[in-house]
Structure 1
Amino acid sequence: MFSFLILSTIIPLVLFIGLFFAFIPYFTRPELIFGVRFMDYQNFVPVINGMKKRNVIYDLLISVLFLVLALILSVYTSAIIAVLFPVAEIIPLTLVYFHFRGSTKELKSSVGEENNKNSTVSAYISKSSMKVGAVWYALPWIELIVFIIIGILHYPAIPNRFATHFGLNGKPNEYETKSIFSVFSLLVFTAIPLTVLLEGISYAINRTRSGNNNAQPRKSSIQMKGFNARMVKLLVGINMIILATLFLSSLIIWNVISSSYVTIVTIPVILILPLVFWFAASSGQTGWKMYRNLEETPDKGNTIEDDKEWAGGLVYHNKEDSKILVPKRYGVGYTFNFSNKWSWLILIIIIGVPITLTVLLILLR
């Protein structure tokens, strides 16, 4: 049987995944239809809008189906099955994407492309909206230092042997002897590496630029800078929410908060979901919904056929492109250039460091 803790996490996650997949076509740039670059999309708006609406319906039906299954199976199966629900949900949602991607490719192949001349960009844009000050990068560290100081002040009151892990029913099932390592395992040995990793990603994001394959290069460059700045601030916010979750977990371990309230650790994490959705809906991928007062006539002749560089519209592989991090073609955020060897190295570090730290924590217990 699933506990309330599991259900309170799985249900919002299943709904969020379904909603996010359903509205991705509305978040991506208008000329990128289901991962296909289609410069003449304006001539086929009714057809494209029809595909987008059907995509929403199919994805929401899949999400509701998985939600009902989760509620039904919660009575009969173990919590391990619950972990598989969000992962399993992504599979049919991705198949829906490929269905409409195929329809878009057929539509594109049936028409030709036109060329227009480019014009200059004219609009006032506040530079502060395209930059991230040092204070933003410092905020998670300030929060973490405050949490650690609270832990240091409370350290004498922590018993010599205390619970460090709790079952799904909120009852402790693992204990540790009091030490600097055991008391601050979350706030120091987990939070610090996590913050370093997220700030490293933020730094890389802030240096990411839009590709030169765009019909509106000046406008897209300005929008991309604003998008990067917003994304960095979003990551800072997510980092601070995760740190708050680790702090709440530490308070339960230190017996400041009763273990019967263990479900409160899910509240900060759940807050991330609507935050991400708001960001995607208000910014649009690569910031195409930002700075609407910018004016630049599309130059379709400046856009080359680059669909072949995106496997399935999802995986970017271009040996001639030196960039490591590039904006996603379908979705919101960034992806790696998988033809760049440094991308693989960074990916190994991102995956390997958490696994290594987890193994070390287990061995040192």
Structure 2
Amino acid sequence: MDYMLFLIIIVFLVAIEMAIPFLAKRTTVFGVFIPDEFVRDSKLLSFKKMYALLIFILGLIAVSIYLFWMLKGNSTEAFQVLLGPAIQFGIIFISTALYFYFYAKTLQRKKAMRWGDNLKQVKMTDLTVRSQDAMLPWYIYLLPIAVTFGVIGYTLLKYNMFPEQIPTHWGPDGKPDAFTVKNPFTVIALPLIMFTMQLMFLGINEMTRRSGIKLSATRPVASRVRQLTLRKYSSWFMFLISVLITMLFSFLQLQMIYPDLSDGVVGMALPIIFLLIVMIGSVIFAVKVGNAGEKEGFQPESGVSDLDEDQYWKGGLFYYNNNDPSIFVEKRFGVGWTMNFANPIGYFIIFGPIVIILLISVFG
């Protein structure tokens, strides 16, 4: 069952990587800003198609290698556990290298064709767009947090029912494979990690809400639709992940109190179900946002362009702009949000919870 989990992840990873260039914002090609009137350039379209084709070939090779070793039948369990993540890392590494190759080619094409040199850059402002924002309010994220506090309270009440060795890690088969000594801290370590993750999702949602809504001066209606769709569905998607994590971690916590709560099959099925829901949600989110506003009519205005902010995007992936108060901005390659690395609050929201989780894992 565990090798099927890795295979599903590999196929999903390849499919997402292939689709990314076609789902990114219209005016950003491999992280490079392209004025509207040049986005249909044949060279740029060929770059996208070539990237997708190379990722597809990479995926075929990766799946073939994985299936070969799995069906061979004489590989150890430890080797199987290492092979899946190794192939996934290889796909991410090679796809990243391909991205930077096509980023350089796109940037070179833009400079050679002098796109934007004679265009007037215009910034669009719409004071009414905030009233249409459909992101979830912050207090909705308190619902899974309330469940976590309930789990912590119930855990402390049932402290005497815990075994002397507390599980700290679960393998692909759903069974615990690492333990620590029972004490008041270790019995609630898992809910504390869950609580930290919930706070992170809450923080990301709120800081995203406060970030600027950037509209296109050449496609105001389409960009408004895309921005509002991105904000709405990212808010719902983060809430879905928060709820799923709450359900999964709460089940694992209750299973420590009641070891006979479920058999091994349920333990193996839960991570797969969790992963499938996340993957399906990711696809729906990417397609909804990627296609948002594309049906809106577009008549490029000669001599006008949106702001070219290439100088703030390092490698087309990392946004660093001291003049932008936004903590999160829309990605240039992919669908979703990335940090404004010039804003220190973003480091606190993203990396603070990671440090806390690591500390709980080490001392718990």
Displacement after TM superposition at 1:21 (Å): 1.4
Tell me whether 1:282 sits opposite 2:288 in the alignment. Answer: yes
Give the direction of change, closer, same or farther, for the CA distance of 1:343–1:139 in structure 2 (3 Å limit).
Answer: closer
- TM-score, normalization by structure 2: 0.79
Give the direction of change, closer, same or farther, for the CA distance of 1:247–1:168 in structure 2 (3 Å limit).
Answer: same
Displacement after TM superposition at 1:199 (Å): 0.6
Q: 1:263 aligns with which of 260, 268, 292?
A: 268
Could you list the runs of 4 or more consecutive aligned residues of structure 1 that deviate by over 6 angstroms after TM superposition? 148-153, 176-179
How many positions carry a matched residue from both structures?
A: 350
Displacement after TM superposition at 1:297 (Å): 5.8
For the 8 Å contact 1:280–1:332, the answer to whether it is kept is yes
For the 8 Å contact 1:117–1:297, the answer to whether it is kept is no
Q: Which residue of 2 aligns with 1:325?
A: 328
Give the direction of change, closer, same or farther, for the CA distance of 1:318–1:148 in structure 2 (3 Å limit).
Answer: closer
- TM-score, normalization by structure 1: 0.79
175-184 or 85-94, which moves further after superposition? Answer: 175-184
Give the direction of change, closer, same or farther, for the CA distance of 1:156–1:349 in structure 2 (3 Å limit).
Answer: closer
332-341 or 268-277, which moves further after superposition? Answer: 332-341
Q: 1:309 aligns with which of 307, 312, 315?
A: 312
Displacement after TM superposition at 1:337 (Å): 2.3
Displacement after TM superposition at 1:261 (Å): 3.5
Question: Equivalences for 1:45-84 in 2 at 5 Å?
Answer: 45-74=41-70, 75-76=75-76, 77=79, 79-84=81-86
Letter aligned with residue 252 of structure 2: S
Displacement after TM superposition at 1:49 (Å): 2.9
Give the direction of change, closer, same or farther, for the CA distance of 1:30–1:209 in structure 2 (3 Å limit).
Answer: same
Question: Equivalences for 1:175-186 in 2 at 5 Å?
Answer: 181-186=185-190
Q: Which residue of 1 aligns with 2:96?
A: 94
RMSD, aligned CA: 3.8
Give the direction of change, closer, same or farther, for the CA distance of 1:17–1:294 in structure 2 (3 Å limit).
Answer: same
For the 8 Å contact 2:171–2:177, the answer to whether it is kept is yes
Letter aligned with residue 250 of structure 1: Q
Tell me whether 1:37 sits opposite 2:33 in the alignment. Answer: yes
Displacement after TM superposition at 1:220 (Å): 3.0
Instruction: Indicate the SS of the match to 2:88.
Output: helix
Q: 2:201 aligns with which of 198, 202, 213?
A: 198
Q: Separation in 1 of the partners of 2:125 and 2:333? A: 26
Unaligned runs of 5+ in 2: none
Displacement after TM superposition at 1:29 (Å): 1.4
Give CA-to-partner distance per residue, 1:285-309, whole Å, 9 cap, x none: xxx7148458786576343432232
Q: Which residue of 2 aligns with 1:189?
A: 192
Letter aligned with residue 19 of structure 1: A
Give the direction of change, closer, same or farther, for the CA distance of 1:162–1:54 in structure 2 (3 Å limit).
Answer: same
Displacement after TM superposition at 1:24 (Å): 0.9
Unaligned runs of 5+ in 1: none
Displacement after TM superposition at 1:40 (Å): 4.8
For the 8 Å contact 2:36–2:300, the answer to whether it is kept is no
Q: 2:141 aligns with which of 137, 141, 145?
A: 137
270-279 or 340-349, which moves further after superposition? Answer: 340-349
Q: 1:106 aligns with which of 105, 108, 114?
A: 108
Q: Percent identity at matched positions?
A: 19
Letter aligned with residue 257 of structure 1: S
Give CA-to-partner distance per residue, 1:6-63, whole Å, 9 cap, x none: x233222222221111111111111111111111555744443333222222112212
Q: Which residue of 2 aligns with 1:8?
A: 4
For the 8 Å contact 2:174–2:267, the answer to whether it is kept is yes
Give CA-to-partner distance per residue, 1:72-122, whole Å, 9 cap, x none: 44525252443333222111111222232233223322254465899x999
Question: Equivalences for 1:102-251 in 2 at 5 Å?
Answer: 102-108=104-110, 109-113=112-116, 115=119, 130-133=134-137, 136-141=140-145, 144=148, 155=158, 158=161, 160-161=163-164, 164=167, 173=177, 181-186=185-190, 188-211=191-214, 215-216=218-219, 220-221=223-224, 223-251=226-254
Q: Which residue of 1 aligns with 2:14?
A: 18
